[in-house]
Amino acid sequence: MAKFSLRSLFGGSSKAQADIHYIEIDETNSTNDYLKSLLATLDGVQQEPRLTVAYADYQTAGRGQGTNTWESERGKNLLFSILCHPVWLPIQSQFIISEAIALALRDALSAYTDGISIKWPNDIYWNDRKISGTIIENTLSGGHIKDCIIGTGVDVNQETFHSDAPNPVSLKQIIGKDTDRMTLLKDIIGRFDAYLTDIRNGNYERIVSLYMSYLYRSHGFFRYRDSGGEFEAAIVEVEDDGHLILRDRGDHIRSYAFKEVEFIIND
Q: Is residue 2 a contact partner of residue 26, using CB atoms and an 8 Å limit?
A: yes
One-letter amino acid of 257:
A
3-state secondary structure of 131: strand
The 253-256 sheet, strands edge to edge: 253-256, 244-248, 229-238, 222-226, 262-263
∠ Cα 35 98 258 (to 5°):
105
Enumerate residues 6+ apart whose C-beta is below 8 A from 99: 122, 207, 208, 211
pLDDT higher than 70, residue 232: yes
What are the C-alpha distances in Å from 207 to residues 20, 41, 200, 202?
22, 33, 12, 10
Q: Is residue 138 a contact partner of residue 147, using CB atoms and an 8 Å limit?
A: yes
- The tens digit of pLDDT for each residue in 112-165 reads 999 999 999 999 999 999 999 999 999 998 888 999 999 999 999 999 887 777
Q: Is residue 126 a contact partner of residue 67, using CB atoms and an 8 Å limit?
A: no
Model confidence at 234, in pLDDT bands (50, 70, 90)?
Answer: very high
- The tens digit of pLDDT for each residue in 158-185 reads 998 877 777 999 999 999 999 999 999 9
d(CA 239, CA 95): 9
Q: Report the pLDDT value the prediction gives residue 95, as an integer from 0 to 100.
A: 97
pTM, whole model, 2 decimals?
0.89
DSSP state of 264: -
